[in-house]
Amino acid sequence: MANWFRRRRPATPAVLVGRPRSTVTARVELADLTPAIDAYLGRAAYLQLALFEDVSRAISAAPSTVAKTSLARVAGPHLDAHRGLVAELVARGVDPAEAMEPYRLDIDDFQRRTLGQDWFETLATCYVTAGFLTDFFLGLAAGLPAELRGRVESLLDVEAGEDVLIDELRAGIDANPRLGSRLAMWGRRLVGDTMLVARSALGVGDEAPGEERIEPVFTELVAAHTRRMDALGLTA
């Protein structure tokens, strides 16, 4: 359940992180940029469903029974998060499909762009995009009313199943160093697409926030991404 909004991580050498850490700043900034409740829930619910689909694709393409059944542990939390967020919408008297609909095209498009060419790229997608975006939506949750925030935080588990993805990816990279450089490139493309889809979730009323407000928000998220790539032995 750990994530950078809620607990300190062990210190990471600055050379890996690349920028100073600014957890408190980012958190304040994100709480400030939380969209309206139904928009938050609708977007987060559809996104968790998309992340679930990515893992499902990896399950179907898994080369072994071990990998298949391990990945089932990764899929569960995204499905549970989707269903929990849908239940929140229903409890508010909101039609969940209508609440998700405005975000469908953007997220479907994001999903297509981050599909990956093979099983390992799909695994990297599950690892990188889910980590970044779940982290991001946990940060935005800071701007929700306290009770709802608590429930949403218990639904979004950034590190759920991360160990499975890291193990499979590392095993692949260890067996084939060229895979490592391919995945390092893929990771850079992924984080670019992921930041764009995250950015589109930020909004205060009709006004799009300026760069000066967005920049600090992403600083810590990018640092967390760097640590994720580092856990694969890859440079972000």
Amino acid at 100: M
Tokens 């179907």 -> residue: 60
Closest distance of CB 79 from a copy of itself, Å: 6
Closest distance of CB 68 from a copy of itself, Å: 6
Tally of CB atoms within 10 A around 126: 30
Closest distance of CB 72 from a copy of itself, Å: 6
Closest distance of CB 49 from a copy of itself, Å: 6
Tokens 């095209």 -> residue: 105
Whole-angstrom Cα distance, residue 171 to residue 178?
A: 13
Site residues for a copy of itself per CB under 8 A: 45-46, 49, 52-53, 56-57, 59-60, 64-66, 68-69, 72-73, 75-76, 79-80, 82-83, 86, 96-97, 100-101, 104
Nearer to a copy of itself, 68 or 213 (CB): 68
Whole-angstrom Cα distance, residue 194 to residue 55?
A: 16
Nearer to a copy of itself, 20 or 63 (CB): 63
Nearer to a copy of itself, 3 or 48 (CB): 48
Nearer to a copy of itself, 104 or 182 (CB): 104
Of the CA atoms within 13 Å of residue 210, those in its CB half-sphere come to 1
Of 201, 154, 183, 204, nearest to 43 by C-alpha is: 201
